[in-house]
Amino acid sequence: MKVTLLSLSNKEEYMFLEPSFRGQRSGWIEVICGSMFSGKTEELIRRVKRARIANQKVLIFKPKKDVRYGEDAVVSHDDNSFESIPVETSREILDNISDANVIGIDEAQFFDADLPAVCQKLAIRGSRVIIAGLDMDFRGVPFGPMPNLLAVAEYITKVHAICPHCGNLATHSYRLSGETETVVLGEKDKYEPRCRVCYEMGNILDLKVR
């Protein structure tokens, strides 16, 4: 099934919606973004746990490729966890939402380009969609579908780590290892958060060494 953005000004696309969703108040999209070790997953878990306390039906999805903490849970760096459904593609989310009205998505940067359209479709159907992901990769470049998610979200929260070199707010994920691929799974053995200045200084020193 091809996922497209729905425009309610188009009668044909409006009729494509399930009858129970027509005329229903829409949901919304929340994005939690920042560097590694900034507490993105922690904040996602906090929000979905509060939703569950309020007796809302909650599901969290994660990319199947992220197996750092196991296959069926999202886990923060502080070891808080919440059960999750691993999926290969963003379209699989639509096949697994059941009757949940709060949808969490962790490590959104690893998903494919269809994720913003999927999230908008969920919001149109009335779901609250909470997304957590890295806004930039180790090169300081916008990561995967995150820029488009930020563009369509109603609510954006940017969280920060602390730069271990100067104590300022960290906005970048600095790669300590020598891999050049965009996606390299790892924790403190491969990455550390850095402020803008310390990130740039590290890149300059790396170029001199290499």
Domain of 150: which CATH number?
3.40.50.300
CA atoms within 13 A on the CB side of 124: 21
Instruction: Give the sign of the dihedral formed by CA 9, CA 12, CA 17, CA 23.
Output: positive
| Per-residue confidence band for 185, with pLDDT thresholds at 50, 70 and 90 | confident
Query: 42 is written with which tokens?
Result: 């922690």
Q: Does residue 52 lie in a domain region?
A: yes
Q: Is residue 57 part of a domain?
A: yes
| 29 or 79, greater pLDDT | 29
Residue 204 lies in a domain: no
Number of domains in the chain: 1
Tokens of 159: 């969280």
User: Is residue 74 included in any domain, yes or no?
Assistant: yes
Give Dmax over CA atoms of the chain in angstroms. Answer: 62
Domain assignment of residue 168, yes or no: no
> Which residue type does 169 have?
L
Q: Confidence class of residue 12 from pLDDT cuts 50, 70 and 90?
A: very low
Q: Look up 107 and say whether it is catalytic.
A: yes
Active-site residue, from 30, 42, 107, 192:
107
pLDDT of residue 11: 43
Tens-place pLDDT, residues 24-59: 668 999 999 999 999 999 999 999 999 999 999 999
Q: Does 33 map to a domain? A: yes
- Domain that residue 104 falls in: 11-160
In a domain, 170, yes or no: no
Instruction: Look at residue 188 and tell me if it is in a domain.
Output: no
How many other CB atoms are found less than 10 A from the CB of residue 210? 6
